[in-house]
């Protein structure tokens, strides 16, 4: 009980201290420099004043992130299954995947714009590219890391490779898949915002949060810029929380990582 | 009793590596409880893998139920040193999956599952996940899973090696009690002389590098064997005899 209370109290106290420090630092700034750090109150006011624009922008970013993230899950799972079943596919694809992962998103953005045009398609494609690698690598690792004794047991039962895959390797790879999913869930909204800054478009329903951040920055609307940053953070939190919840629902009853300890 | 497993001049090497087993000549009859004991590297586990058809002999002939091992999967069950349970399935779920994948008729599955869980004294733990079970309980589930396949040959690769002495002795007694009610031939790998003497009617002592038969010792202790058996002088004498033979293997190797 005491531990549970501390788990709630400590973050609350830490947050209160950060906000107090924030106000203190802001007070210490000269008047002409105060624009550098709006107060939480000013940011909240900016959010209220611009909520229509920000919610629409967050919706656009979320849409791009969700499409890219969802596509990454589907394609990376298929790729991981292929790579786990055939080492030659794994050996063929890995260097390409590594190269893709090592190429910075802002460099890929103009290429995507060239191929599919600016806006949602580009944002989704770039989000897909950033989320795909951790998912594919982790899931493949999970599929090929099955306990050797369990594999031998299945071979003794003379089951086919497909049954071995779906009754043994796939469930055994779930913890690895969720590790990849957690990484991808933090990267997807970030990727979508960066993609939006580099390949977003104000056409149609307008741009996403990245696009909006550029607009507010160019208009020197700094409290609104900070509010945009907060909205970005909130979006990332929603993605991560959703994945953590899904991971818990799937794994908590059997996986050791969810075992309760006194530590 | 009919022969159930026969090694005729069997040798085994993995790839281009050194010989793991050399010139194995050995036969076991239906109903035997054969323990393999010997120093590390003597190929005890390889012997079980050959019988299970998980690995092929390099030369010689091995027959299981008069068939090549890879064709004799029906009626074979394997219990590994680790419990090798699927952690995402309950105890009953693990047994059910084995039944399903081995084609046990649907109508017979639930009753048989319950029966084997009762045999290993875990009838009330069928819904528990492996992480909720102790080491001994996990091994019991692993054993129950093997028994649920109604095996004619049970291969046990140091199944109780990781357990504490008390649990191991208890499981040894339970294994023999189960065997009184089921008809299977056992091939048991162990490092424990006492365990081998208690469980078996034949002990095969192996020498290492390459693995080969050093001696075969009959265990004429009466059945049924219980905790009392361990207190009897013939048991002590047999343990001493097997230990001496095992020591002679190690001395010869040194």
ipTM of the complex: 0.84
Taking the C-alpha atoms of residue A68 and residue B10, their distance in angstroms, rounded to an integer, is 58
Q: Please state the three-class secondary structure of chain B as a single string.
A: CCEEEEEEEEEEECCCCCEEEEEEEEEEECCCEEEEECCCCCCHHHHHHHHHCCCCCCEEEEEECCECHHHCCCCEEEECCCCCCCCCCCHHHHHHHHHHHCCCCHHHHHHHHHHHHHHCCCHHHCCCCHHHCCHHHHHHHHHHHHHCCCCCEEEEECCCCCCCHHHHHHHHHHHHHHHHHCCCEEEEECCCHHHHHHHCCEEEEEECCCEEEEEEEECCCCCCCCHHHHHCHHHHHHHHHHHHHHHHHHHHHC
pLDDT of residue A98: 85
Residue A250 CA to chain centroid, in angstroms?
19
Asked if A152 lies within 8 A of B78 by C-beta distance, the reply is yes
Cα distance from A260 to chain B (closest Cα, Å)? 11
pLDDT in tens, A136-185: 999 999 999 999 889 999 988 888 888 999 999 999 999 999 999 999 99
Q: Helices A170-199 and A105-116, interaxial angle, to 10°?
A: 80
A13 has a pLDDT exceeding 50: yes
Q: Tell me whether A262 touches chain B (CB under 8 Å).
A: no
Q: Tell me whether A32 touches chain B (CB under 8 Å).
A: no
Identify from A147, A149, A151, A157 which residue to disrupt to test chain B contact, counting B C-beta atoms within 10 A and taking the largest count.
A157
Asked if B101 lies within 8 A of A167 by C-beta distance, the reply is yes
Nearest to B131 among A152, A174, A259 (CB): A259
Q: Which residue has the higher pLDDT, A95 or B251?
A: A95
Which residue has tokens 């590596």? B17
B217 upstream amide cis, omega within 30 of 0: no
pLDDT of residue A263: 39
- Closest alpha carbon to B77 in B105, B93, B44, B53: B53
The arithmetic mean of pLDDT across residues A93-105, rounded, is 85
Nearest to A157 among B98, B130, B131 (CB): B98
Taking the C-alpha atoms of residue B72 and residue B67, their distance in angstroms, rounded to an integer, is 6
Per-residue DSSP letter, A129: H
Provide the residue-wise pLDDT of chain B in tens; the chain has 254 residues: 677 899 999 999 998 888 899 999 999 998 899 999 998 888 888 999 999 998 999 999 999 988 888 888 778 899 998 889 999 999 999 999 999 999 889 998 999 999 899 888 889 999 999 999 998 899 989 999 998 988 899 999 998 887 888 888 888 998 888 888 888 899 999 999 999 999 999 999 998 888 899 999 999 999 889 889 999 999 999 999 999 999 888 776 65
Asked if B84 lies within 8 A of A149 by C-beta distance, the reply is yes
pLDDT of residue A262: 42
Q: Least CA distance to A146: which residue of chain B? A: B86
Asked if A153 lies within 8 A of B80 by C-beta distance, the reply is yes
Provide the Cα torsion B91, B71, B55, B32; round to 10°: 70
Q: In sequence order, what are the residues at sequence separation of 6 or more whose Cβ sits closer than 8 angstroms to the Cβ of residue B87?
A: A254, A255, A256, B129, B130, B131
Asked if A154 lies within 8 A of B101 by C-beta distance, the reply is yes
A200 has a pLDDT exceeding 80: no
Taking the C-alpha atoms of residue B160 and residue B222, their distance in angstroms, rounded to an integer, is 23
Report the half-sphere exposure of A16 (CA within 13 A, side-chain side): 6
Average model confidence (pLDDT) across chain A: 89
pLDDT band for position A260 (cuts 50, 70, 90): low
Q: Which chain A residues touch B87 with a CB distance below 8 Å?
A: 254-256
pLDDT of residue B254: 58
Sheet with B185-189: strands ordered across = B76-79, B153-157, B185-189, B33-37, B202-207, B212-218
Cα distance from B80 to chain A (closest Cα, Å)? 7
Q: Tell me whether A163 touches chain B (CB under 8 Å).
A: yes
Q: Least CA distance to B69: which residue of chain A? A: A156
A1 has a pLDDT exceeding 70: no
Q: Which of residues 165-224 of A touch B (CB under 8 A)?
A: 167-168, 171-172, 174
Nearest to A158 among B73, B84, B89 (CB): B73
Burial class (CB in 10 A: 0-12, 13-18, 19+), B172: buried
Cα distance from A96 to chain B (closest Cα, Å)? 33
Q: How many helices (H) and strands (E) does chain A have?
A: 11, 0
Nearest to B88 among A155, A163, A254 (CB): A254
pLDDT of residue A203: 66
Taking the C-alpha atoms of residue B34 and residue B28, their distance in angstroms, rounded to an integer, is 8
pLDDT of residue A44: 93
B interface residues, A as partner, C-beta within 8 Å: 49, 52-54, 73, 76-78, 80-82, 84, 86-89, 97-98, 101-102, 129-131
Size of interface A-B (CB pairs under 8 A): 52
Asked if B54 lies within 8 A of A156 by C-beta distance, the reply is yes
């Amino acid at each position: 009980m005491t531990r549970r209370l501390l788990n709630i109290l400590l973050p609350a106290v830490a947050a209160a201290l950060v906000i107090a420090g924030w106000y203190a630092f802001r007070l210490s700034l000269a008047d002409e420099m105060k624009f550098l750090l709006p107060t939480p109150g000013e940011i909240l006011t900016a959010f209220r004043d611009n909520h229509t624009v920000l919610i629409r922008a967050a919706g656009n970013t979320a849409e791009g992130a969700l499409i890219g993230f969802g596509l990454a899950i589907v394609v990376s799972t298929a790729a991981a299954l292929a790579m786990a079943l055939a080492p030659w596919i794994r050996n063929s694809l890995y260097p390409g995947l590594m190269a893709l992962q090592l190429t910075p998103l802002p460099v890929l953005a103009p290429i995507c714009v060239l191929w599919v045009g600016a806006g949602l398609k580009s944002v989704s494609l770039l989000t897909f590219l950033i989320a795909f690698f951790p998912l594919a690598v982790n899931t493949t690792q999970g599929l090929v890391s099955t306990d050797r004794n369990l594999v031998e047991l299945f071979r003794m039962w003379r089951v086919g490779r497909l049954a071995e895959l779906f009754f043994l390797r796939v469930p055994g790879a779930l913890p690895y898949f969720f590790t990849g999913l957690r990484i991808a869930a933090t990267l997807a909204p970030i990727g979508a915002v960066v993609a939006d800054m580099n390949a977003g478009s104000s056409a149609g329903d307008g741009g996403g949060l990245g696009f909006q951040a550029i607009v507010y920055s160019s208009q020197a609307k700094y409290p609104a810029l900070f509010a945009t940053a907060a909205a970005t953070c909130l979006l990332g939190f929603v993605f991560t929380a959703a994945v953590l919840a899904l991971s818990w629902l799937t794994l908590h009853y059997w996986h050791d990582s969810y075992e309760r300890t006194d530590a | 009793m009919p022969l159930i497993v026969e090694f005729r001049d069997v040798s085994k090497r993995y790839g281009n590596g050194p010989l793991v087993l050399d010139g194995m000549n050995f036969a076991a009859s239906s109903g035997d409880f054969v323990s393999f004991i010997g120093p590390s590297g003597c190929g005890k586990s390889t012997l079980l893998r050959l019988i299970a058809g998980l690995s092929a002999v390099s030369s010689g002939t091995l027959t299981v139920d008069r068939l090549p091992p890879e064709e004799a999967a029906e009626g074979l069950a394997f219990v590994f040193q680790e419990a090798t349970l699927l952690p995402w399935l309950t105890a009953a779920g693990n047994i059910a999956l084995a039944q399903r994948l081995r084609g046990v008729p649907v109508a017979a599955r639930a009753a048989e599952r319950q029966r084997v869980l009762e045999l290993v004294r875990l009838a009330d733990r069928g819904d528990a996940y492996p992480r909720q079970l102790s080491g001994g309980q996990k091994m019991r589930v692993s054993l129950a899973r093997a028994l649920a396949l109604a095996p004619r040959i049970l291969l046990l690769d140091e199944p109780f090696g990781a357990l504490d002495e008390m649990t191991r002795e208890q499981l040894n007694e339970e294994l023999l009690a189960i065997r009184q009610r089921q008809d299977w031939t056992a091939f048991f790998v162990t490092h424990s002389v006492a365990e081998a003497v208690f469980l078996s009617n034949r002990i095969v002592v192996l020498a290492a590098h390459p693995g080969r038969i050093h001696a075969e010792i009959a265990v004429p202790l009466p059945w049924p064997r219980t905790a009392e058996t361990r207190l009897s002088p013939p048991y002590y004498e047999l343990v001493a005899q097997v230990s001496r033979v095992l020591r002679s293997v190690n001395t010869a190797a040194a």
